[in-house]
């Protein structure tokens, strides 16, 4: 395997894909600028058959199903051994899907109605993909205007999402939301 390029932003990644025509894209969810979930959707729209594997530090329970719905074929935690990462790349290149055994069992359990659709004790799982992106951006200290610019949304739309997040998390004020988002963002593994 040969790494043909690396990008720090979604736009750089899209340019690199256009120029180099890779066999697979391995991406993180944490990118400068637009969120990694948006990159996955953009890649899927432009290159419908290009395999995508997400390699990330973010909680698999919260993100794996979201990246699959966005168009990726797999999710592997950076904390997994190198052999697992290579196994995931090979499986996705061969046309398969990759998730950890625990995550595969959890998703299959939900599909067969043997488990609740939302992970108990994980209120963030109740948020939509867009709401979760906005929540994380709030936690990183971005203003409504900055979030709107990065996600190509109106400030009003971001405010509506922010209100939905507050409701779903049972928070009464924007200050509570900011505190909760900052704490959550700081607790994420680096």
The arithmetic mean of pLDDT across residues 51-65, rounded, is: 87
d(CA 2, CA 12): 19
Domain 10-111, CATH class in plain words: alpha beta
Distance of CA 178 to the CA centre of its chain: 20
pLDDT at 114: 60
pLDDT at 102: 81
Residue 163 clears pLDDT 80, i.e. is over it: yes
**Residue recorded with tokens 């995550």:** 103
pLDDT at 126: 82
Domains of the chain, by residue range, sit at: 10-111, 123-187
Q: Which residue has the higher pLDDT, 50 or 120?
A: 50
pLDDT at 39: 92
Q: What is the CATH number of domain 123-187?
A: 1.10.10.10
Residue 1 clears pLDDT 70, i.e. is over it: yes
Residue 120 clears pLDDT 60, i.e. is over it: no
Q: Label the pairing between strands 25-27 and 74-77.
A: unpaired
For the whole model, what pTM was predicted? 0.68
Do the domains 10-111 and 123-187 sit in the same CATH topology, yes or no?
Answer: no
The arithmetic mean of pLDDT across residues 115-124, rounded, is: 58
pLDDT at 53: 96
Residue 37 clears pLDDT 50, i.e. is over it: yes
Residue 60 clears pLDDT 50, i.e. is over it: yes
Residue 121 clears pLDDT 60, i.e. is over it: no
Averaged confidence pLDDT in the chain: 86
């Amino acid at each position: 395997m040969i790494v043909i390029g690396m990008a720090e932003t979604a736009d750089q990644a899209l340019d690199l894909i256009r120029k180099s025509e890779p066999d697979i894209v391995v991406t993180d969810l944490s990118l400068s600028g637009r969120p990694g979930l948006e990159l996955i959707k953009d890649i899927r729209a432009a290159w419908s058959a290009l395999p995508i594997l997400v390699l990330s530090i973010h909680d698999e329970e919260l993100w794996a199903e979201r990246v699959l719905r966005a168009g990726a074929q797999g999710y592997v935690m950076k904390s997994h051994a190198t052999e697992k990462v290579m196994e995931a790349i090979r499986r996705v290149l061969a046309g398969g899907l990759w998730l950890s055994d625990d995550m595969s069992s959890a998703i299959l359990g939900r599909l067969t109605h043997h488990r609740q659709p939302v992970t108990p004790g994980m209120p963030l799982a109740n948020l939509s993909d867009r709401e979760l992106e906005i929540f994380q951006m709030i936690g990183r200290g971005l203003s409504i205007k900055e979030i709107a610019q990065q996600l190509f949304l109106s400030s009003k739309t971001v405010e509506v999402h922010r209100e939905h997040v507050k409701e779903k998390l049972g928070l009464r004020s924007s200050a509570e939301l900011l505190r909760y988002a900052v704490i959550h963002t700081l607790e994420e593994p680096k």
